[in-house]
Amino acid sequence: MPDYSHLLDETEKAFLDMLQRFVAEDLIPKAAATDENGKFVHEQIKALAETGMMGANLPEQWGGADISSHALFEAVAMIAGGCGSTVSALTAHYLATDSILLGADDAMKARILPRAAEGALLGAFGLTEPNAGSDPGDMRSRATREGDGWRIKGKKCFISNGGVADFIVTYVVTNPDAGARGISAFVIEKGTPGLVPGRVEHTMGLRGGHVWELDIDCWVPAENMVGPEGTGFKTAMKVLDNGRTEVAAMCVGIARAAFVAARDWAKTRMIGGEPLSNRQGIRWMLADMETDLAAAELLGHEAARQRHAGQRFTSAASRAKLFASEAAGRVADKALQIHGGYGYTRDFPLERYVRDLRIMRIYEGSSEIQRNIVAGYLLA
C-alpha cells in the first residue's frame, strides 16, 4: 500500500506513533465489548483527550494540535481501525468545533474551542431533521427573536453525541423567505431548559457511538448565534467538506484493519495441507481489496491536500467519501468471506467491521448525494 510518511513532519510522525500505541493498548482491547454492551464511549473519549485528538482538527491558536490535514486523515483512520464507535463520537465532535472555527467570531471561539480541544467539552452537530436529511433546504426548525435572544423550536434526528454533548451547534431557519440564506446556527448548551434528548437509536453498527433524536423548544442569548444571521448554510457546507474527508479516513481505517486480518488469516489458515493464500481465488480477492484500499487512500489524501492548501475542495471531499465508503464495504465483505464461517461469528471482528461500515454510505450525505455533487461540478 502507498506510504504517506513523506507528507508528514517529524512532530506529526511522533504524534502518530504515540497514537498507534494508544489504539493498540486502549481502544482495540475494548472494541468488542463496546459493540456488545452498546454503552456510550465516555471512557474512550476521556482517554482520547489525553492524546490531543479532541483538538486535532483545530489550530494551535484555539488550543488545537495544529497538525496538517494529511496527519489528521491518518490519525482519524488510525482511531477508526481501533474502534468505530469511538471515531464516530470523535468526528461528530469535530463537526461541532469546525462549525465554530469556520463560522463564529473570536469571542465564541475563545469561549468554547480551547475547552473542547482539551476534552473538557464534548460537541454535537445538529443539522439533520426527520424531513430534512440530505436536503437542508427542507429544514423546518425555526428560531425567532425573543427579548435579547432567540427562541428555537424544532426537532433534530440522528444527532451523534446529541444526548451527552456539552454543546450542540444547531442549524435552524431564521428567515423562511430567504432560502438557504435564511439558515443560521446557534450553540445550545447542555442543561438549557427545553432541550430534550429522546431515546438512543438502536443502530446496526457503531453501537457505542450513540445517535439521538432531539426535541427543542428553548431560549438562547444572542451571543450564542454562530456568526452573522443567515450564514449557517454556508458554514454547514464547509463543515461537511471537512466531515466527508474524515468519513473517508474512517472508512480507510476500518478497511485497513479488515484487509490486514484477511491477509494474515489467508497466510496462516491451512486447508488441504497448504495455506489458504496459495489458492488463486483468494489471491485475487486480496489483490482487489488492496487495490480498492490504495485508491481510497489516494482520493482521501488528495482531498486532504486541497483542504490543507486552503482550496475549495467540495468535489474532492465528495469523491473521497463516495469511493472510500463503497470500497471499504467491498473490502470488509471480502475479508469476512475469506474467514469463512469464522468471519460471521462475533469471536472475530469482521462482522463488526461490516456493520460499522454500512452507515458510511449514508451519513454526511449518502452516496447518491455525493454523485450529485461530483456531477454538478463536472457539468457546471
Residue 156: CB atoms within 10 A of its CB come to: 27
Q: Which of 210, 219, 260 is nearest to 84 (CA)?
A: 210
Alpha-carbon dihedral of residues 1, 7, 249, 92, nearest 10 degrees?
Answer: 160
Q: Which of 206, 255, 253 is nearest to 34 (CA)?
A: 206
Q: Which of 370, 352, 373 is nearest to 88 (CA)?
A: 352
CA distance 275 to 115: 52
Cα Rg of the chain (Å, integer)? 21
Q: Which of 12, 74, 326, 364 is catalytic?
A: 364
Q: Which of 144, 127, 145 is nearest to 136 (CA)?
A: 127
Q: Specify whether the backbone of 18 is left (phi greater than 0), alpha (psi in -120 to 50) or beta.
A: alpha
CA distance 270 to 276: 6
Buried b (16+ CB within 10 A) or exposed e, 14-23: ebbeebeebb
Q: What is the DSSP letter of 143?
A: E
Q: How far is CA 216 from CA 9, 26, 189, in A?
A: 45, 36, 12
368 classed as catalytic: no
Helix spans in the chain (H): 10-22, 28-37, 42-51, 69-82, 84-103, 106-117, 232-268, 280-308, 314-339, 350-358, 367-379
- Catalytic residues, by residue number, are 364
